[in-house]
Each structure stands twice: as structure tokens, then as C-alpha cells.
């Protein structure tokens, strides 16, 4: 009977109820987006780190991977130390550098050059790119590049490129130049769609970079044996190889988390604001509805309906609006999140795989639970008003009206 | 068909309603309105009482105190031998549910419930099982002559029919007392007369009734008339 009455009160003013539900839906959409934003970047960053299956990254002591130009010397020595730990399954040293490739038109005239990031890797254990087509860097004079770089070079698979690791703009001379054959296309996992990226064998890059970079790596990526604890391995490495910082996925995420705390605060505040707006909307509507029905409520009280039941009926009304709004809002939130994500992902310099808004069922549940809770809270004030209505006086006022 | 009222286990000679020196003041800004100025009144079980008097003399105020939806400023109100003037809200609500049947001038049915559901509402509140509720609501509608209107909403009923549904609702939990404030006030003479005879039948079947009215016909139908003026009973108090 209570549900019937609550439902009836909502149906009686169909248009008004619908508007309130839509208002709550907008607030709910905003809330969901903010919950998604609060966790989305961290989650997608984690997925990015986990995606290639490497558990640990070794960077020069005190830095983050590719944070500085610093490198780790003694790749061969470090590798042989690492081999002593039976929990380490795969070791992938990576050397990062930049390259300059002059482009010429068909007449052979210089057209300036294109610069790009390049990684020196071992193709059998690399975790930096997804090979797409052609052939991988199986030979010392091979290079693979991402589509963006290939487009900028106006090159085709099979073309020979004059690749240099150094360029002096004063004298307009290249250093460390070498002829490499563009063998294949690749998608670089940690790179953005609008950033040039290429990969060659590490020996090739070392050779081009000269003596200074011989036996150096910017980063090691390490896969541990199944069942082994990456953190134990991390401690082991830091003990035996003092020149590196070992970063597990968990610590990397914690570090990213710290950098993202502004995002989360923003999301938290905006989420709280939308929740509050939804709350006010529902309180207002239910209060208006209770005021309108004061005579009806007084009659119910007079014929013996308890305060508790009046309260339940009013609270139910608020919850029903919030719940309906939340359901519509979740759909709306997903749509806006997708749209916003597309805008933000085009932000220059971000890895393609990073999402700002990541849908997780837990986000939806969180948003839904918050909304239903706020719906209950929103009913409290009008319910209290309804329950404490002076019966005789309300009936009298109703009779005069 | 007869409408059984709640008969006490032992025959009770005491009045069912008993007011002693009841006063009710209202604060109106800084002033005090003395709506009731010392009313003493008894109503016997099975009686049918009409309270009459000029507008503003305190009839509704008196009825509200008997109906336990208001409390006196001073004096005592007993119903069925039970003090009701100082009950907590919770006690008063439950007392009304089981002992008082209200009939209002403007019917006040729930607009979204059918006639049958309106009559069943107090029974639902009293936790009467659904089936029993339905059955008794149907019986009560038959008693007031509306068997064919069970599924109708109030908006689909005439004023007289709505008032009869309201009377059936008042009888839902077999109250000791039925109270009505101007029950014919919104009705034309003909429909009003139907309500008057319904009240007479109800009283003949054993229900104690107190009505407040300006309607001569309704007042004359009662067994006893109580005249009020300026917050006092001037004639007819027992
Ligand atoms: N809530 C209130 N606040 C202030 N004054 C009130 C209130 N209720 C009633 N009164 C006053 O108390 C007096 C008695 O009112 P009551 O409603 O009992 O009269 P009544 O006899 O029922 O009149 P009517 O025949 O017009 O219904 C009136 O003067 C009225 O103005
Ligand atoms: Mg009155």
C-alpha cells in the first residue's frame, strides 16, 4: 500500500517527476564520469604496464624510466648478475635515443629532416612495440617505425633511410649516420599516436651512438618466473646491482598515482558537487510534493496511519526518483565519458593506451550506491515534515482552502 | 446486513466518551483564542449525538479532541474508560486506528486508490491479512450500497458515493466510535438525506456516532442534540 501511494504521488505529476528524474540523471552522469575519471587513468596505466607482461623495470639509480637522458652502464655485466636469480625469466635491455633522417624529394634535393625517438632493443624479448607488418629488426641494418613516422618520411617498406643519431644545426652535419632499411611497421605501446617512434637492434644503436653509449641501456625490462614474487626480485636486484632503481608495477602505479592526485581531487570535488545537486533536486521535489499533499497526509494520520509509514512512503518517493535518475544517468554518463575520452586522448604526448575515463562495473555500482544513499537522505527532511504535521490544524487549513 | 461493533466482554455502564472541564486555547499571534471554555460532556455507548451551534463556537475543536487528533489545554478526555488527552503520538495513532472512525466534510479519499483500496487502507495499517481485508472491504462497500463501485476511483464517483466510501472506510477496523464533521456539508439535499439515513442505520446496528453539523435534517435524525455557544455547551449536556 505504501509503495502504491508513493508511486501514485509520482505518477500524479508525471511531467514534474520526469523533469526531476532527468535532472538527477544529469547529476548521476556527472558523478559516474567523475568516479570513472578518478580511477580511470590509474587503471589504464596499470593495464598498459601489465599488457606486455614485464613485471619490473630497472632505471638509472634515482630516476624513472626515460625520465632523464641518464643511462645504465655495463649491460653485459648486469645481465650476467641477473641471470644468477632463478626467478628472473627474461631480461630486455632498452637503449633510447633520438634520430634524424633527412628527406629528399624525387629530384634528390634536401627537404629538411625528420627527427624521431628510437629504441635499441632485442626483437626476441622486447616489450615496447607491437609488430604489425613487414619484417622485424632481425638484421643489424633493419629499422621498424610507427605509421606516423613512416607518413612523415613519405617512405615505404623496403626504402633505405640515412639515419643519424646526431645533428649539429650550426654546421648542418649529421653524426653517427648509417643506412638502414625500413623493414616493417610497428605500434609503440608507450608512445602517442602523434609521436614518431622507431626501433633498431640495440647493437646497431650502440654502434651509431659511438663509444659513449657502448654497453649502455636506458632501461631494463624484466619478466619474472610465474609464481615468483616481483617485490622479492626487486629487493634482490637493488641489493646486488646498486647502480639501478628497480621499479615494480605496484610502485610505478603508486608514483603515477601521486602525480594524478590533482586529477582525483578535481574528480572528487566535481563528483561531490553533482551528488549534492542531485540531492537538492530530490529534496526540493519531495518537499513540494509533501506540502501539496499535507491534507491527504493529515487524513492518513487521522485514520491511524503511523508516522513511520508516512516517513517510509515519503522516503520511498525520493529513492524512486534517485534510482530512476541513476539508471538513465549511467547510460548518459557512459556516452559522455566516451566522448570526453576521445577529446582528452588526443592530448599531445600521451600513450595511446591511456584512458582518462575507464568504465569498470565497480564505478557504476559506486555511483548507483551513492545516488540511492543520497535519495534516502533527500527524503529525510520532507519525511520529517510530513511526520510532524499537526493533524487537526492541517485538516482545518485544508477545509478552509 | 448488520455492522457488528466491538462489544466489550462485560456490559459497561460507563459513558463511552467522557469530557471533564475541557479547555482548548489557540495561540493566535500574541493573543489567545479560547475555543473551548470548560466543556463537560458524556456520550453513552450506542448513542447518536449531534453537536450544533453557530460557526466558530468550537464544534470542530471539540470533535478533534474526542477523535484524539488534538490535545486539550486542560481538562480530561476519556474514551472507553481510557484517558486519551495525554497520549503520545504513537499511542494516539494506534488508538485512532482501532477505536475511531473519521468522516470528513470533504470525504478525503486517496485519489489514486480505488474505492475498495480506500476502505482497505486502515485494515492494511492494522496488518489485517490481504484476503480478509479484501473480503471485509467488499462487505463494507455493500453495506453502504456501493457493491458495484469497488474498482472505481474517487474521481469517478459522485459526492454522495464518495462520502459513503468514506463511511465504509471509517468502519474498517470496527471502531468504538464514529466521528463526523459536517458529513453532508458538501452534498445536495437529496444525497445528504441518503447519508443521514445511512448514519441512522449504522446507529441502529449499534455504532456510537458523534456528528458536528449545521444541517437541520442531520441534527434532527440524531437521538440527542448538544448546543454549543462561545466554546461552551449550553444545552443538552448529560
Ligand atoms: N488552529 C487554530 N488557531 C487559532 N484559532 C483557531 C484554530 N482552530 C480554531 N480556532 C478558533 O477556535 C474557534 C473555534 O473553532 P472551530 O473550528 O472549533 O469552530 P466550529 O464551531 O467548528 O466552526 P464552523 O461551524 O465554522 O466549522 C474559532 O474562533 C476559530 O477561529
Ligand atoms: Mg467546524
Tens digits of pLDDT across chain A (401 residues):
667 777 777 777 888 889 999 999 999 999 888 888 887 878 888 888 887 788 898 888 877 776 667 888 899 999 999 999 999 999 999 999 989 998 877 676 777 888 899 999 998 888 889 889 999 999 999 999 999 999 998 889 999 999 998 888 888 888 888 999 999 999 988 877 788 999 999 999 999 988 888 899 999 999 999 888 988 999 999 899 988 888 888 888 888 888 788 878 888 899 899 999 999 999 999 999 999 989 889 999 999 999 999 999 999 999 999 999 999 998 999 999 888 888 877 776 666 667 778 788 888 888 889 988 999 999 999 999 999 999 999 999 887 77
A198 shares a domain with A160: yes
- Three-class SS of chain A: CHHHHHHHHHHHCHHHHHHHHHHHHHHHHHHHHHHHHHHHHHHHHHHHHHHCCCCEEEEECCCCCCCCCCCEECHHHHHHHHCCCCCEEEEEEEEEEEEEEEEECCCCCEEEEEEEEEEEECCCCCCCEEEEEECCCCCCCEEEECHHHHHHHCCCCCCEEEEECEEECCCCEEECCEEEEEEEEEEECCCCCCCCEEEEEHHHHHHHHCHHHCCEECEEEEEECCCCCHHHHHHHHHHHCCCEEEEEHHHHHHHHHHHCHHHHHHHHHHHHHHHHHHHHHHHHHHHHHHHHCHHHHHHHHHCCCCHHHHHHHHHHHHHHHHHHHHHHHHHHHHHHHHHHHHHHHCCCCCCCCCCCCCCCHHHHHHHHHHHHHHHHHHHHHHHHHHHCCCHHHHHHHHHHC
Same domain, A333 and A369: yes
The residue from A207, A242, A277 where one domain ends is A242
- The burial class, CB within 10 Å (0-12 / 13-18 / 19+), for A343 is exposed
Best residue in B59, B89, B108 for a mutation probing chain A (most A CBs within 10 Å): B108
Residue A327 lies in a domain: yes
A11: distance to nearest CA of chain B, Å?
Answer: 9
In a domain, A270, yes or no: yes
Q: Please, which pLDDT band fits residue B124 given cuts at 50, 70 and 90?
A: very high
**Residue A209: inside a domain, yes or no?**
yes
Range of the structural domain that residue A360 is part of: 2-49+260-400
pLDDT band at B112 (very low <50, low <70, confident <90, very high): confident
In this structure, is the dihedral angle defined by the CA atoms of residues A361, A362, A367 and A369, taken in order, positive or negative? positive
Same domain, A276 and A237: no
Q: Is residue A360 part of a domain?
A: yes
Contact of B96 with B48, CB cutoff 8 Å: no
Question: Is residue B125 within 8 angstroms of chain A, CB to CB?
Answer: yes
A66 and A43 in a single domain? The answer is no
Which residues does chain B have within 8 Å of residue A14's beta carbon, measured at their own beta carbons?
A: none
Q: For chain B, positions 152-211, list CB contacts with chain A under 8 A.
A: 169-170, 173
Do the chains contact at A12 and B125, CB–CB below 8 Å? no
pLDDT recorded at residue A352: 63
User: Residue B212 and residue B199: Cα distance in Å, rounded?
Assistant: 13
- How far B65 CA sits from the closest chain A CA (Å)? 9
The answer to whether the beta carbons of residues A149 and A117 sit under 8 Å apart is: no
* B8 C-beta closer than 6 A to ligand 1: no
| Prediction ipTM score | 0.91
Closest CA to A223 of A82, A120, A122: A82
Reference B170, options A307, A395, A303, A298; nearest CA is A303
* Cα diameter, chain A: 100
Answer yes or no: is pLDDT of B58 > 80: yes
Q: Are residues A231 and A118 in the same domain?
A: yes
Q: How many CB atoms lie within 10 A of CB B6?
A: 14
For residue B174, report the distance from its CA to the centre of ligand 1, in Å: 29
Residue A130 lies inside a defined structural domain of this protein: yes
A392 contact residues in B (CB cutoff 8 A): 61, 64, 69-70
Among protein residues, the one whose CA lies closest to atom 29 of ligand 1: B56
Rounded to 5°, the CA angle A294-A297-A299 comes to 110
CB contact under 8 A, A307 and B110: no
Q: Among A242, A271, A300, give the residue marking a domain's end.
A: A242
Nearest to B174 by CA among B1, B3, B2: B3
How many domains does one find in chain A?
2
Best of B34, B36, B57, B182 to mutate for ligand 1, by most ligand atoms within 8 A of CB? B57
Q: Does one domain contain both A157 and A199?
A: yes
Q: Which residues pair with A178 in a beta bridge?
A: A163
Query: A312 and A211 share a domain?
Result: no
Q: Do B106 and A399 touch (CB under 8 A)?
A: yes
- List residues bridging with A244 in a β-sheet: A60
C-alpha cell at B116: 475498495
Would you say residue A255 lies in a domain? Answer: no
Per-residue confidence (pLDDT) for residue A70, from 0 to 100? 82
Is A152 found in the same domain as A15?
Answer: no
Q: Determine contact, residues A182/A145, Cβ cutoff 8 Å.
A: yes
CB B229 near ligand 1, within 6 Å:
no
Chain A: closest CA distance from residue B128 (Å): 12
Query: What is the band of B8 on the pLDDT scale with cuts at 50, 70, 90?
Result: very low
Residue A152 sits in the same domain as residue A109: yes
With an 8 Å Cβ cutoff, are A303 and B110 in contact? no
Long-range contacts of A65-71 (CB under 8 A, 24+ apart): A65/A218, A65/A219, A65/A247, A66/A96, A66/A218, A66/A219, A70/A218, A71/A95, A71/A213, A71/A216, A71/A217, A71/A218
Three-state secondary structure readout of chain B: CCCCCCCCCCCCCCCCEEEEEEEEEEEECCEEEEEEEEEEEEECCCCEEEEECCCCCCHHHHHHHHCCCCCCCEEEEEECCEECCCCCHHHHHHHHHHHEEEECCCCCCCCCCCHHHHHHHHHHHCCCCHHHHHHHHHHHHHHCCCHHHCCCCHHHCCHHHHHHHHHHHHCCCCCCEEEEECCCCCCCHHHHHHHHHHHHHHHHCCCEEEEECCCHHHHHHCCEEEEEECCEEEECCC
Q: Is B213 in the pocket of ligand 1 (CB under 6 A)?
A: no
Mean pLDDT value of segment B66-76:
96
CB atoms inside a 10 Å sphere around CB A361? 7
B87 at the A interface (CB within 8 A)? no
CB contact under 8 A, A395 and B96: no
Contacts of B110 in chain A (CB under 8 A): 5, 8, 296, 300
Long-range contacts of B78-87 (CB under 8 A, 24+ apart): B78/B17, B78/B18, B78/B19, B79/B16, B79/B17, B79/B18, B79/B176, B79/B177, B80/B8, B80/B16, B80/B176, B81/B12, B81/B14, B85/B22
Q: Are B43 and B17 in contact (CB under 8 A)?
A: yes
pLDDT of residue B109: 92
Domain assignment present for residue A254? The answer is no
- How much is the average pLDDT of B29-39? 93
Query: A213, A242, A271: which is the final residue of a domain?
Result: A242
- B52 CB under 6 A from ligand 1? no
For residue B7, is pLDDT > 70? no
Query: How far A323 CA lies from chain B's nearest CA (Å)?
Result: 22
| Residues of A engaging B, defined by a Cβ cutoff of 8 Å | 1, 4-5, 8-9, 11-12, 295-296, 299-307, 309, 391-392, 395-396, 398-399
- The predicted pLDDT at position A1 comes to 63
Task: Please report the pLDDT score of residue B12 as a whole number.
Answer: 60
- Ligand 1 atom at minimal distance to the Cα of residue B231: 14
pLDDT of B4 higher than 60:
no
Q: Which residues of A touch B64 (CB under 8 A)?
A: 392, 395
Kindly list the structural domains of chain B, giving each domain's residue range(s) and its CATH number in brackets, ordered by start: 17-235 (3.40.50.300)
Q: Both A196 and A273 in a single domain?
A: no
Q: Is B189 in the pocket of ligand 1 (CB under 6 A)?
A: no
Choose the closest CB to A391 out of B69, B101, B117. Answer: B69
Is A70 in the same domain as A217?
Answer: yes
What pLDDT is recorded for position A2?
A: 65
B58 close to ligand 1 (CB < 6 Angstrom): yes
Q: Mark yes or no for CB contact B125/A302 under 8 Å.
A: no
Q: Within this chain, do residues A99 and A235 fall inside the same structural domain, yes or no?
A: yes
CA distances from B124 to B112, B136, B169 (A): 16, 12, 12
The pTM score is: 0.75
- Provide Rg for chain A, Cα atoms: 32
User: In 3D, which of B163, B69, B44 has the Cα closest to residue A396?
Assistant: B69
Report yes or no: A344 and A324 within 8 Å, Cβ to Cβ: no
Amino acid at each position: 500500500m505504501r509503495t502504491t501511494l508513493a508511486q501514485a504521488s509520482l505518477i500524479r505529476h508525471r511531467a514534474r517527476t520526469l523533469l526531476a528524474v532527468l535532472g538527477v540523471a544529469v547529476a548521476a552522469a556527472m558523478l559516474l564520469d567523475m568516479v570513472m575519471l578518478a580511477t580511470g587513468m590509474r587503471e589504464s596505466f596499470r593495464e598498459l604496464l601489465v599488457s606486455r607482461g614485464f613485471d619490473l623495470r630497472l632505471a638509472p639509480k634515482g630516476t624513472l624510466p626515460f625520465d632523464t637522458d641518464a643511462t645504465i652502464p655495463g649491460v653485459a655485466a648486469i645481465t650476467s648478475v641477473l641471470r644468477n636469480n632463478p626467478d628472473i625469466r627474461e631480461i630486455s635491455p632498452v637503449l633510447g635515443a633520438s634520430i634524424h633522417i633527412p628527406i629528399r624529394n624525387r629530384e634528390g634535393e634536401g627537404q629538411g629532416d625528420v627527427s624521431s625517438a628510437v629504441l635499441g632493443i632485442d626483437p626476441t624479448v622486447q616489450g615496447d612495440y607491437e609488430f604489425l607488418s613487414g619484417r622485424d629488426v632481425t638484421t643489424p641494418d633493419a629499422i621498424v617505425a610507427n605509421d606516423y613516422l613512416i607518413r612523415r618520411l613519405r617512405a615505404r617498406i623496403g626504402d633505405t633511410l640515412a639515419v643519424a643519431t646526431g645533428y649539429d644545426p650550426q654546421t648542418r652535419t649529421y653524426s653517427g649516420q648509417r643506412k638502414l632499411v625500413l623493414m616493417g611497421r610497428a605500434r609503440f605501446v608507450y608512445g602517442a599516436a602523434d609521436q614518431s617512434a622507431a626501433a633498431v637492434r640495440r647493437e646497431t644503436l650502440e654502434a651509431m651512438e659511438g663509444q659513449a653509449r657502448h654497453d649502455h641501456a636506458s632501461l631494463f625490462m624484466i619478466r619474472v618466473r610465474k609464481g615468483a614474487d616481483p617485490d622479492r626480485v626487486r629487493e634482490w636486484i637493488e641489493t646486488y646491482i646498486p647502480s639501478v632503481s628497480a621499479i615494480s608495477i605496484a610502485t610505478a602505479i603508486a608514483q603515477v598515482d601521486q602525480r594524478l592526485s590533482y586529477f582525483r581531487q578535481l574528480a572528487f570535488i566535481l563528483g561531490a558537487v553533482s551528488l549534492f545537486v542531485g540531492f537538492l533536486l530530490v529534496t526540493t521535489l519531495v518537499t513540494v510534493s509533501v506540502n501539496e499533499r499535507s491534507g491527504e497526509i493529515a487524513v492518513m494520520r487521522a485514520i491511524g496511519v503511523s508516522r513511520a509509514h508516512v516517513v517510509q512512503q515519503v522516503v520511498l518517493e525520493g529513492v524512486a526518483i534517485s534510482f530512476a535518475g541513476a539508471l538513465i544517468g549511467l547510460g548518459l554518463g557512459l556516452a559522455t565519458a566516451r566522448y570526453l575520452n576521445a577529446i582528452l586522448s588526443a592530448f599531445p604526448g600521451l600513450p595511446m593506451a591511456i584512458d582518462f575515463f575507464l568504465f569498470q562495473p565497480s564505478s557504476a555500482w559506486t555511483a548507483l550506491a551513492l545516488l540511492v544513499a543520497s535519495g534516502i537522505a533527500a527524503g529525510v527532511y520532507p519525511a520529517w515534515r510530513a511526520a510532524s504535521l499537526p493533524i487537526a490544524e492541517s485538516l482545518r487549513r485544508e477545509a478552509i482552502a | 446486513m448488520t455492522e457488528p461493533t466491538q462489544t466489550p466482554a462485560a456490559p459497561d455502564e460507563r459513558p463511552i466518551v467522557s469530557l471533564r472541564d475541557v479547555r482548548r486555547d489557540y495561540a493566535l499571534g500574541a493573543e489567545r483564542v479560547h475555543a473551548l471554555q470548560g466543556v463537560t460532556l458524556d456520550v453513552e455507548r450506542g448513542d447518536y449525538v449531534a453537536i450544533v451551534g453557530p460557526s466558530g463556537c468550537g464544534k470542530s475543536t471539540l470533535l478533534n479532541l474526542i477523535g484524539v487528533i488534538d490535545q486539550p489545554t486542560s481538562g480530561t478526555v476519556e474514551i472507553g474508560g481510557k484517558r486519551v488527552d495525554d497520549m503520545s503520538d504513537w499511542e494516539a495513532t494506534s488508538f485512532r486506528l482501532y477505536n475511531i472512525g473519521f468522516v470528513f466534510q470533504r470525504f478525503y479519499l486517496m485519489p489514486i486508490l480505488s474505492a475498495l483500496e480506500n476502505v482497505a487502507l486502515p485494515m492494511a495499517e492494522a496488518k489485517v491479512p490481504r484476503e480478509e481485508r479484501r473480503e471485509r472491504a467488499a462487505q463494507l462497500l455493500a453495506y453502504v450500497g456501493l457493491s458495484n463501485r469497488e474498482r472505481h476511483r474517487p474521481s469517478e464517483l459522485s459526492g454522495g458515493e464518495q462520502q459513503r466510501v468514506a463511511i465504509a472506510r471509517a468502519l474498517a477496523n470496527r471502531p468504538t466510535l464514529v466521528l463526523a464533521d459536517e458529513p453532508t456539508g458538501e452534498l445536495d439535499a437529496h444525497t445528504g438525506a441518503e447519508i443521514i439515513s445511512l448514519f441512522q442505520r449504522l446507529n441502529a446496528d449499534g455504532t456510537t456516532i458523534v456528528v458536528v453539523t449545521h444541517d437541520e435534517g442531520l441534527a434532527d435524525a440524531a437521538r440527542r442534540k448538544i448546543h454549543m455557544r462561545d466554546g461552551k455547551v449550553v444545552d443538552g449536556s448529560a
